[in-house]
Amino acid sequence: MKNPKIAFITGITGQDGAYLAQFLLEKGYSVHGLLRWDWAEGTDRLKTLGIEDRLHLHHGDMTDAGNLTRLIKAIEPDEIYNLAALTHVQVSFETPSSAFQANAMGTLNLLESLRILDMPKIRLYQASSSEMFGSAPPPQNETTPFQPCSPYGVSKLAAYWLVRTYRDSYGLHASNGILFNHESPLRGQDFVTRKIARAAVRIAAGLQDALALGNLDAMRDWGHARDFVRGMWLMLQQDAPDDYVLATGEAHTVRNFATRAFAQAGIKLTWTGVGLNEQGADSKGRVLVTLAPSLFRPKEVHHLRGDSSRAREKLGWRPETTLDGLIREMVEAEQGVLEDGKEPPFPQQSAAA
């Protein structure tokens, strides 16, 4: 029997890492992952998907270049997916230096390892982000000039350019996936979609009085993470490396997402008031959603809507889950958590989110 292909995923314990590991296992890959010894969430997501025992997990850290080099030499992967990052935009305003260390320096460490080890068969996927577009007007695609608005966006842009520079300078098969927001029941609770889905279900069950949010007018292009990890893999199956936007092409406000998620949980929200006094109430006039100034970002990205024509044409990629399908899955997962009576996994990382 032919030996399986070997994949090495940094950030395997996150939402995308878990779905990607599952996807690659189904394709017959041998999957290795980098596990930070102090990572609070541990391997919860891998357990939820029932794949933890089928993976090879190695302790390590993106900021430790020697550790990365030794691991890659030992694993001899065919494909590396660099998903490890400090991914919360708001948190990156609080801890900009560690965001830069993990996201930019971590990627540089990985690229230097590949250069030093000189293992040309390895293909690299870099998790770049639509946050790099920042305030550039939509729709954004691979040729849109970047205008990042946060330490997170700038750190991801540095990593993006490092990947391109190493690709051009040393001939690495390295591709940037510029991914717009992608969500799922495995999302951390401090990202807005999971925060809303969880609150809608808990409010409907009488376990929570209200939900505080920040900017309701922000528009995001939300897809399902499961669709997006398929796109990551497709990028590495191409003969030549390139950079690709993955997006649904539809954008909605946070307010619209909340309205739909509450409706899915059985609550019809009506919005009244303006600015910080805006609020969402149910049909009995009970105020269920309020605004909290602390949840607004120092600088906001107002409107992200991706044009993924290149990925659709060259990779044959397209998202399969609709926004309503995504919301249904997220709300039903929260309802399942309540029925189980267990504390929900993937807890909140930051008080400011």
71 lies in the site for ligand GDD, by CB under 6 A: no
Alpha helix stretches (DSSP H) within the chain: 15-26, 44-48, 65-75, 89-94, 96-100, 106-117, 151-170, 192-204, 225-236, 254-264, 309-310, 323-340
CA distances from 89 to 46, 165, 316 (A): 24, 25, 30
Q: Give dist(CA 107, CA 165) in Å, integer.
A: 12
x/- mask, ligand GDD, residues 209-238, rule CB under 6 A, reads ----xxx--x-x------------------
Exactly one of 30, 129, 155, 176 binds ligand GDD (CB under 6 A); that residue is 129
The DSSP secondary-structure symbol of 18 reads: H
290 lies in the site for ligand GDD, by CB under 6 A: no
In the window 254-283, what residues touch ligand GDD (CB under 6 A)?
254
Q: Give dist(CA 339, CA 196) in Å, integer.
A: 18
Exactly one of 89, 110, 149, 186 binds ligand GDD (CB under 6 A); that residue is 89
Q: How many chain residues are in contact with ligand GDD, going by CB under 6 A?
A: 23
Cis status, amide bond into 148, omega within 30 of 0:
no
192 lies in the site for ligand GDD, by CB under 6 A: yes
Q: Which two tokens stand for residue 305?
A: 């809507």
Exactly one of 131, 227, 243, 307 binds ligand GDD (CB under 6 A); that residue is 131
Output phi, psi for 284, to 5 deg: -90, 5
Exactly one of 110, 245, 304, 323 binds ligand GDD (CB under 6 A); that residue is 304
- Rounded least distance, CB 94 to ligand GDD, Å: 13
10 lies in the site for ligand GDD, by CB under 6 A: no
104 lies in the site for ligand GDD, by CB under 6 A: no
51 lies in the site for ligand GDD, by CB under 6 A: no
Find tokens 């919301």 and name the residue: 327
157 lies in the site for ligand GDD, by CB under 6 A: no
308 lies in the site for ligand GDD, by CB under 6 A: no
Sorted by sequence, the CB contacts under 8 Å of residue 117 that are 6+ apart come out as 69, 72, 73
Determine the interface stretch with ligand GDD among 185-193, 227-235, 311-319, 326-334 (rule: CB under 6 A).
Answer: 185-193
Cα 91–Cα 100–Cα 164 angle in degrees, nearest 5: 125
- Rounded least distance, CB 276 to ligand GDD, Å: 12
Q: What is the dihedral of CA 9, 10, 16, 17, to 10 degrees?
A: 50
297 lies in the site for ligand GDD, by CB under 6 A: yes
Query: Which of 22, 92 has the CB closer to ligand GDD?
Result: 92
Which parts of this chain interact with ligand GDD (CB under 6 A)?
Answer: 87, 89-90, 129-131, 180-181, 190-192, 195, 213-215, 218, 220, 254, 295, 297, 300, 304, 353
